[in-house]
């Protein structure tokens, strides 16, 4: 940026862990002024204001957005608030970076995308896991032809006791939109489709289970999320088979609570025509155990790969700021990727409810029989 270029004025709604990741990234970014934050917790808000030298803080997001001078707004709050805050910020003239999932449902996500298009502003969704070095290394093995054409993937994120907080908004169906499928599974879905080159999902067949959460089991140790004293209303395990255009497939599995050996593990096994890859990450390790498999059927080569650590939210925010500064590309970043993930998750829940496969059209809408 030149000295004549005005700084980007940033605001963050949400002062929990995710919101604080956005704040740190904006604070570290050149040419950005973090000028406003909004959140309900008075003591946390005051501490963050002092840490980042923020003059204007708000208890309610409406007041922050109403000021009308923010260039970018990050949305890092419970899922049921994503759509109203993002739409309000877009209509007030700000570009928006929303935490995942884009919204509780594809319908809400569609409203956000339409608001971005009408405002002519950027709408992006935080998929920070695709920014991990090990995920990028698997993607590189596809792009450079090492594994050939990927045709199947088994991808998962499984926890032994990781329900974010029993009784919180996370376990309230109306506020969250679902359980681990919409919370963790949307990450798994995103990185898998990203790695495989964005194939179109044509059908899904899914099942969900709620066996531990309703009995008060499987809560994360030290989980301190804003509570609403809710009954446990969502799944604690979900599994889905996704059929892809061209004959490919994905097996996706995600849980908050299961009786298993590893407390928290995510990863992907990728099968291609010329090779494959296996990635396992335990306990949020900055870089997981990655092996690339190649060979002609008679001679096999297993190549361990040590990938660099990813930069997570920092990289996501930096990319978002690049998009905001590139005015000619705004129409290309309207939240459509986040919307596509939401529609696939919708289809998984619909399949689980009906006990039947859900077929999808080219816009990833469910084809009604």
Asked if 281 contacts 293 with a C-beta cutoff of 8 angstroms, the reply is no
- Name residues whose C-beta falls within 8 Å of residue 366's C-beta, 6 or more positions apart in sequence: 346, 347, 350, 358, 359, 360
Residue 1 reports pLDDT greater than 50: no
- The predicted-structure confidence for 27-47, as pLDDT tens digits, reads as follows 999 999 999 999 999 999 999
pLDDT of residue 154: 98
Strand residue runs (E) in the chain = 8-13, 32-38, 56-58, 72-75, 95-99, 123-126, 150-159, 201-209, 237-244, 249-255, 264-272, 275-282, 289-295, 300-305, 358-359
Cα separation values, 141 from 149, 200, 290, Å: 10, 20, 11
Average pLDDT value for the chain: 95
Cα separation values, 272 from 148, 188, 194, Å: 5, 18, 15
For 175, the enclosing helix (H) or strand (E) is helix 173-176
Q: Tell me the three state secondary structure of residue 239.
A: strand
Asked if 293 contacts 273 with a C-beta cutoff of 8 angstroms, the reply is no
- The predicted-structure confidence for 154-171, as pLDDT tens digits, reads as follows 999 999 999 999 999 999
- The predicted-structure confidence for 100-156, as pLDDT tens digits, reads as follows 999 999 999 999 999 999 999 999 999 999 999 999 999 999 999 999 999 999 999
Residue 260 reports pLDDT greater than 60: yes
* Of 224 and 217, the one with more pLDDT: 217
Cα separation values, 186 from 48, 134, 273, 346, Å: 29, 18, 26, 11
Q: What is the DSSP letter of 72?
A: E
Asked if 94 contacts 71 with a C-beta cutoff of 8 angstroms, the reply is yes
> What pLDDT band is residue 225 in, cutting at 50, 70 and 90?
low
Q: Which domains does the chain have, with CATH numbers?
A: 8-128+313-332 (3.40.50.720), 133-309+344-359 (3.30.360.10)
- The predicted-structure confidence for 301-353, as pLDDT tens digits, reads as follows 999 999 999 999 999 999 999 999 999 999 999 999 999 999 999 999 999 99
Pick from 346, 292, 335, 369: which is nearest to 107 by CA? 346
pLDDT of residue 2: 44
- pLDDT more than 70, % of the chain: 97
Residue 57 reports pLDDT greater than 80: yes
Determine the Cα–Cα distance for residues 99 and 76; give it in Å rounded to an integer. 5
């Amino acid at each position: 940026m030149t000295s004549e270029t005005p700084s980007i004025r940033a605001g963050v709604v949400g002062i929990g862990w995710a919101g604080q990741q956005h704040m740190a990234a904006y604070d570290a970014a050149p040419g950005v002024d973090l000028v406003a934050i909004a959140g309900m917790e008075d003591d946390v808000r005051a501490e963050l204001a002092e840490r980042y030298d923020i003059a204007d803080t708000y208890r309610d997001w409406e007041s922050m957005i109403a000021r009308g001078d923010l260039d970018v707004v990050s949305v890092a709050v419970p899922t049921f608030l994503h759509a109203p805050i993002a739409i309000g910020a877009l209509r007030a003239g700000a570009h928006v970076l929303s935490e995942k999932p884009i919204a509780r449902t594809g319908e809400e996500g569609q409203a956000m995308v339409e608001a971005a298009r009408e405002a002519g502003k950027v709408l992006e969704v935080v998929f920070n896991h695709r920014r991990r070095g090990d995920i990028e290394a698997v993607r590189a093995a596809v792009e450079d032809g090492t594994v050939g054409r990927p045709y199947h993937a088994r991808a998962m994120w499984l926890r032994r006791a990781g329900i974010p907080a029993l009784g919180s908004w996370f376990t309230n169906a109306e506020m969250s939109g679902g359980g681990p499928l919409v919370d963790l599974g949307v990450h798994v879905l995103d990185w898998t489709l990203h790695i495989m080159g964005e194939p179109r999902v044509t059908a899904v067949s899914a099942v969900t289970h709620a066996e531990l959460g309703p009995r008060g089991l499987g809560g994360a140790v030290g989980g301190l999320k804003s509570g609403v004293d809710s009954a446990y209303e969502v799944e604690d395990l979900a599994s889905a088979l996704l059929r892809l255009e061209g004959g490919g497939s994905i097996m996706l599995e995600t849980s908050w609570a299961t009786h298993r050996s590893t407390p928290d593990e995510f990863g992907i096994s990728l099968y291609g025509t010329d090779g494959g890859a296996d990635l396992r990450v335990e306990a949020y390790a900055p870089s997981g155990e990655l092996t690339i498999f190649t060979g002609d059927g008679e001679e096999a080569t297993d190549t361990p790969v040590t990938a660099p650590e990813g930069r997570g939210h920092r990289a996501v925010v930096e990319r978002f700021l690049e998009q905001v500064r590139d005015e000619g590309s705004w129409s290309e970043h309207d939240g459509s990727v986040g919307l596509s993930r939401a529609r696939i998750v919708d289809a998984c829940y619909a399949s689980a409810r009906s006990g039947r496969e859900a077929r999808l059209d080219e816009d990833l809408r469910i084809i009604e029989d």
